Amino acid sequence: MIDGDPIFVIEPHSDDAFLSLGWSMRTWVRQGRRVEILTVHSVEEDRRTEAKAFADAIGAGWRGLDVPCATVADITAGKPLDPLPDPLLPDDALDPAACRIWPLGLLHVEHQAVAARAGSDLRYVDIPYMLDVDHQDEVASRLTGRTIAWWLRPPPEKWDDSALFPSQALLFKYYPIPGLVCVPEIVVR
């Protein structure tokens, strides 16, 4: 069970909430819960449009926090990221009665930077990064000592929403949708 209201899902990039918790968020909205997606790296207009379209499709709210992304070249070269603003979240997301769910912070440096702000809040397991067979030790180490707060195996219909993210078509070739169909959505404490 996910306690707190509203539920804020903090995603580093515009597709992360969909990939990691897309059907869970639909489920919470259908239960009458207020869900809002906060996209940290949201300055690219096409990605903003996609994130908003997904949120609208599932009945959630959406806000961009307008932090620029690092370039792939900078990430590949190991250039340090610019620091995230402090505070990162809007005031209403800091309400003690709210639930905040952050990425676990697997593999991608911007996911790790956002995850570092989570404190004791809930975490979602970053899809598709948890599937990277070369990094299962990192996945295991980040999950060690945590307990499952929410686990859901989404139906194949979840992946119909991938069409709302045309800028990520290459990602869906790298991690084909049929291979993701059985991947559960997991929130941990």
pLDDT along the chain (189 residues), means of 10: 95 96 98 98 95 98 96 88 96 97 95 97 93 90 96 93 91 72 91
Is position 1 within any domain?
Answer: no
Element (H, E) at 141: helix 136-143
- Provide the pLDDT for residue 129: 86
- How many domains are contained in the chain? 1
Three-class SS of residue 121? coil
Return phi, psi of residue 154, to 5°. Answer: -75, 155
Which amino acid type is present at position 1? M
- pTM to 2 decimals? 0.95
List the CATH number of the domain containing 144: 3.40.50.10320
Within 10 Å of residue 90's Cβ, how many Cβ atoms? 12
Contact between residue 28 and residue 1 where contact means Cβ atoms under 8 Å apart: no
Which residue range(s) make up the domain with 111?
7-188
- Provide the pLDDT for residue 173: 74
Distance set, CA 54 to CA 23, 91, 151, 161 (Å)? 11, 24, 21, 7
- Provide the pLDDT for residue 62: 98
Return phi, psi of residue 81, to 5°. Answer: -75, 150
